[in-house]
Copies of this chain bind each other. A is one copy, B any other.
């Protein structure tokens, strides 16, 4: 008559504990709650709340709002909160749980985010950057299942990544391992806002694809691209370039191949250093699927000879937009007494 009670004795088993994930982005805030027992098997969040960042998004606005959303989800699920994982972009110290600098929103300098969230919700909290948590989620629940080691890249407006070695996220000094967007892939390339030249992010992000296409259009008008952009080159986006390539635009095909080449040069450096058995490409640009993966794999064969490429799987991410949030809940899972 009370199946739920029968499954979960009133004393409350560990499996019934709740895990909380919080994902703080430059434009959106997302919170997700998972029931530990189910999550450890499926990687599925039980409930999610997402909203745009309202107002300026300072820590004193956003942290209380995240706590409010979390309390509402926890109350809805019912149960004891066991642990909290937090995803945020930019420099942070995963050991002390402090955000060093979150450049997308004002006032986020040297913020003891974990202490504030843990204090507000009464459970231990850890944080990591969004790309690392995307890697953790893909490793545990997505394309990385069954692999000990992998490198994850998220190809989006920017490019980030995470490195997993023998089942563990690699952090490095300043929690800065996996900054794969700033590998040099074109020595004489344009200067990146980071200060380096020809960074992977400058040459292969969605922003770069659109920029390089606009630059090429200035000297070689392309009717297919112009039609897709409503005759406004400034409106060009990376998906339009892919679409135009599909429709036969030589210019778009050239840009796309060039993008694959830059990614292959970057992956080549990663492969020569780590020889990982798996590379997972996620983020908006990677939603092109085989249209990106095929030329990247093909061009890798021009750059890698001493590492056996036939033993390196290069594939797309299996999880979608919520991978950082799922990764945050996964971080919470790993904090539970018997690991998860």
Binding site for B on A (CB under 8 A): 91, 149, 151, 163, 165-166, 168, 170-189, 194-196, 198, 265, 268-270, 272-277, 302-308, 311-312
B177, B186, B273, B311: which contacts A187 (Cβ < 8 A)? B186
Interface CB pairs A-B, < 8 A, 9: A149-B172, A173-B311, A173-B312, A184-B268, A187-B187, A187-B198, A188-B188, A195-B305, A196-B268
- Establish whether residues A170 and B176, one from each chain, have CB atoms under 8 Å apart when the complex forms: no
Tell me, rounded to whole Å, the shortest Cβ–Cβ distance linking A171 to chain B. Answer: 7
Instruction: List chain B residues, Cβ under 8 A from A312.
Output: 173
In the bound complex, CA of A307 to CA of B177 (Å) = 8
In the bound complex, CA of A319 to CA of B275 (Å) = 27
- Establish whether residues A184 and B269, one from each chain, have CB atoms under 8 Å apart when the complex forms: yes
Tell me, rounded to whole Å, the shortest Cβ–Cβ distance linking A116 to chain B. Answer: 24
B173, B269, B307: which contacts A174 (Cβ < 8 A)? B307
- Establish whether residues B308 and A173, one from each chain, have CB atoms under 8 Å apart when the complex forms: yes
- Establish whether residues B275 and A196, one from each chain, have CB atoms under 8 Å apart when the complex forms: no
- Establish whether residues A177 and B270, one from each chain, have CB atoms under 8 Å apart when the complex forms: no
CB closest chain-B residue, reference A173: B311
Tell me, rounded to whole Å, the shortest Cβ–Cβ distance linking A226 to chain B. Answer: 30
- Establish whether residues B187 and A305, one from each chain, have CB atoms under 8 Å apart when the complex forms: no
- Establish whether residues B173 and A276, one from each chain, have CB atoms under 8 Å apart when the complex forms: yes
In the bound complex, CA of A233 to CA of B59 (Å) = 65
> Would A172 and B274 be within 8 Å (CB), given that A265-B184, A268-B196, A269-B184 are in contact?
yes
In the bound complex, CA of A307 to CA of B189 (Å) = 20
In the bound complex, CA of A292 to CA of B252 (Å) = 44
Most buried by B among A174, A179, A184, A277: A184
Most buried by B among A171, A174, A185, A189: A174
Instruction: List chain B residues, Cβ under 8 A from A308.
Output: 173-174, 176
In the bound complex, CA of A277 to CA of B195 (Å) = 21
Instruction: List chain B residues, Cβ under 8 A from A165.
Output: 165-166, 170
- Establish whether residues B172 and A307, one from each chain, have CB atoms under 8 Å apart when the complex forms: yes
In the bound complex, CA of A165 to CA of B177 (Å) = 12
In the bound complex, CA of A322 to CA of B8 (Å) = 63
In the bound complex, CA of A210 to CA of B247 (Å) = 50
CB closest chain-B residue, reference A151: B273
Instruction: List chain B residues, Cβ under 8 A from A176.
Output: 275, 306-308
